[in-house]
Structures are given as structure tokens and as C-alpha cells.
Amino acid sequence: MNKISTVNGLDKKFLESLFDSAKNIKNSWPNLEQIGKGKTICLLFWEPSTRTKLSFEHAAKSLGFKVLDFSPSGSSIEKGETFEDTIKTLLALKVDGFIIRHPEDKISLKIEKLLPEEAFFINAGDGSYAHPSQALLDVYTMREECKDFSELKVAAIGDTKHCRIIGSQVTLLNRLGCTDIQFYGPKELLDDNLSPSFSEITDGCMEDRDILYVIRVKNERLKDNENIDMEAFKSIYQINESFIKKTKFSGSVMHPGPINVDLEITDDIATSEKALISTQVENGLYIRAALLSLIS
């Protein structure tokens, strides 16, 4: 397997191998085996990114890959070149692998078919569909907190409807034995395919949760008829000291970033001892290096 559009095809054996590889990379960083020597990776990001793009770039260079950074702005795309022609051009330039983020849902599945068998590919996020490497690093981070996934209890709160991470994350957690996952948020932002879901935040509702996964409102993906009153959202769903006391949550807080401070979460919670947010970013480097090591 050298193309990862979603986590759907990743079995438990692959996940365990990936997590073991990430742990070894973490322990030996930055003295890594140069498995990418003589190979070239191209980063193609049609949407803004900080954590995903930079961690893939840093991981690739640390493994010995040459890295090309492609930006649609200033490229021949502005002259009318198609996505398909751009990929063909890069293949002709002897690019061996691709890390691609794109706003179109499920375009990663088209990319898989477009690329030759020998070219490797990782979906870095496509629309609201999937973001496999983020889900993998999140689950890896949860694994560091709770070795037995069958005992793990998770709550996700915010815009689960437009979040491309949650579906992938649930698939991975279920595959590893975690089935106790709850979803919270405004009715308009809850994914009908995820249950149990709750719009009301009741006293003590998260007392037994180990992980609280916070998701920002994806304003860039909201439809015209999805108007969210952010002041109302903040008053009910913002993760702050009052929320923590009301829900009696005592576990670890996670957030995939970027954080909108004082919207979905306050700075004091995001930087508290409860928060694993910086750990997620660091683990993203190791997981992405491990992915590249396994599929390139």
C-alpha cells in the first residue's frame, strides 16, 4: 500500500506497525534513517495550512527526501491549467510522491486513480471528507494516554458535521476497540451519521470522559442556510472553566488546530495541564515521518 486517501483500508496490524514506527522515530529524533535519499516529494496545498504542511515538510527532509513546495498561486493554474495537467507535469519532473490538500470532497479518490502505481500519495485533507494523518496522530496521542482502547471514553464537541477528521477518527478508534464516543454541539452542526449526539450540555455529562476533542466551527465550509450565532455558541459550547465545572470533565483536552482562542476554547484551558494540543502537534511530526517511511 503506497496511497492513503482515507483510513478505511488501514487494518489493525498496519496501525500497530505505524504507531511502533512513530514511537521509534520519536525516541531517535533527529537521527533518522535516510529512507528518502534520491526521492522527491511534492507538497500541493490548495488550502491554507500550518501544522500539516510544515510537519510533512520537516518529516520528509529529516528522512532525506527532496521537497518541492507547489503553490497554486503563481502557477500555471492561474492561466487555466487543469488539476490533471498539473499532476502530469509534476510526474514528468520525476516527482516520486505527493502530499495534497484540496477543498473538493473526495478528490483524493480521483487522485489515487490519476497517479501511476509506483507514485506514493497521502491525502492531507480534502473538503469535509477525510484527513487521515490528523486522525492518525490524534489516535496515537490518545494511545499514549490510554493503552487499552476498550476502556477509552471520548467526547467530541463543536462542528462535527463539517469536520473531515472526525469520521476518520471514529473509524480508527472503533478498529482499535474504542466504541464509547459521544458527540456534542448545536443541532445545525451535528453529523446525522454520528451517534449518540447531544445539543444540551447537562450537569456532569462528561464526568466519565477521558478525552474531550474540541472542534472549531468550520466557517469556510458552512452552507448558505447554516447560520450560526457565535455568541450563542460560545455561551453554551465554549470550553472554559465554567464548562469544565458544569460537566465535571477531568480528562485531557485535545484540539486539531487552528485554535480560535476565546471562541470554541479559552486560552487558559488550551494552555493548561489538561491540554494535549502541543503534544498533538509534536506527534504529528512523528506520525507523518512514520507514514512516509512505511509507504514510500
Task: Please state, in angstroms and rounded to a whole number, the distance separating the CA atoms of residues 236 and 186.
Answer: 9
pLDDT(18) > 90: yes
Residues 200-227 have a mean pLDDT of: 87
Average confidence score pLDDT of the chain? 93
Q: Rounded to an integer, what distance in angstroms lies between the CA atom of residue 134 and that of residue 277?
A: 12
Exposed, middle or buried: residue 201 (CB in 10 Å: 0-12, 13-18, 19+)? Answer: middle
Q: Is the pTM of this model over 0.85?
A: yes
Residue 277, amino acid: I
Query: Is 115 found in the same domain as 65?
Result: yes
Per-residue pLDDT at 77 exceeds 80: no
Q: What is the pLDDT of residue 7?
A: 96
Asked if residue 242 and residue 107 are part of one domain, the reply reads no
pLDDT digit string, tens, across residues 245-279: 999 999 999 999 999 999 999 999 999 999 999 99
Across residues 138-150, what is the average pLDDT? 94
Please tell me whether residues 90 and 200 are part of one structural domain. Answer: no
Judgement on whether residues 205 and 96 belong to the same structural domain of the protein:
no
For residues 120 and 178, membership in a common domain is answered with no
pLDDT at 197: 96
Alpha carbons 277 and 281: distance in angstroms, whole number? 7
On whether both 111 and 221 belong to a single domain, the answer is no
The CATH number given to whatever domain includes residue 244 is: 3.40.50.1370
Strands 40-45 and 97-102: what pairing?
parallel
Q: Give yes or no: residues 61 and 163 share one domain.
A: no
Indicate whether 152 and 222 sit together in one domain.
Answer: yes
* Residue span of the structural domain in which 136 resides: 132-278
Confidence of residue 1 (pLDDT cuts 50, 70, 90): confident
Q: What is the SS3 string spanning the chain? A: CCEECCCCCCCHHHHHHHHHHHHHHHHHCCCCCCCCCCCEEEEEECCCCCHHHHHHHHHHHHCCCEEEEECCCCCHHHHCCCHHHHHHHHHHCCCCEEEEEECCCCHHHHHHHHCCCCCEEEEEEECCCECHHHHHHHHHHHHHHCCCHHHCEEEEEECCCCCCCHHHHHHHHHHCCCCEEEEECCHHHCCCCCCCEECCCCCCCCCCCCEEEEECCCHHHCCCCCCCCHHHHHHHHCECHHHHHHHCCCCEEECCCCCCECCCECHHHHCCCCECHHHHHHHHHHHHHHHHHHHC
One domain, residues 123 and 85? yes
Same domain, 19 and 44: yes
Do 150 and 60 share a structural domain? Answer: no
**Chain centroid offset of residue 58 CA:** 17
246 with 290, same domain: the answer is no
pLDDT, one tens digit per residue, over 81-98 is 788 999 999 999 999 999
Q: Please state the domain count of the chain.
A: 2
